[in-house]
Amino acid sequence: MEALGNLQGLLMLIIGIAALGVQAFALIDALRQRSDAFPAAGKLTKQIWLAILGVATAIGVIFVNNQPLNVFNLIAFVAASVYLVDVRPAIKSITGGGNSGPYGRW
């Protein structure tokens, strides 16, 4: 029975680390974007997104090993996910981000 508890603890740690990774990636990506691209894409300003993602990452750090599936960490994960699936692609379309090789984008 103790092995089951250890397995559950390990699974929760993996979930917490994965959530923190998504939150940190979103924050780092937002830091690297141009400030004028956010309003040009029709999104909130860069400063607001940095505040949202900074708080989300801080929450991820706090709960990485202690109940990563609580409501605060879930909200933080959703905020980072919204940035990654909605804001990031819109900014990339404005700034022309993407992979480009010697013959153009691919």
CA dihedral 80, 33, 87, 95 (to 10 degrees): -160
Report yes or no on 11 lying in a domain.
yes
Tally the domains of the chain.
1
pLDDT confidence of residue 95? 87
Residue 84, in any domain of the structure: yes
List beta partners, residue 101. 104
Q: What is the pLDDT of residue 3?
A: 75
The answer to whether residue 103 sits within a structural domain is no
Size (the chain), residues: 106
Domain that holds residue 76: 2-96
Number of H helices, E strands in the chain: 5, 2
Q: Is 101 among the domain residues?
A: no
pLDDT of 37 reads: 95
Q: Does the pLDDT of residue 5 top 80, yes or no? A: no
Beta strands in 53-95 (DSSP E): none
Residue 10, domain member (yes or no): yes
pLDDT of 106 strictly over 60: no
The pLDDT, as a whole number, for residue 1 is 67
In a domain, 82, yes or no: yes
With respect to residue 104, please indicate whether it lies within any of the assigned structural domains.
Answer: no
Over residues 58-80, the mean pLDDT reads 93
pLDDT number for residue 105: 56
30-50: pLDDT as tens digits: 999 999 999 999 999 999 999
Average pLDDT value for residue range 66-95: 94
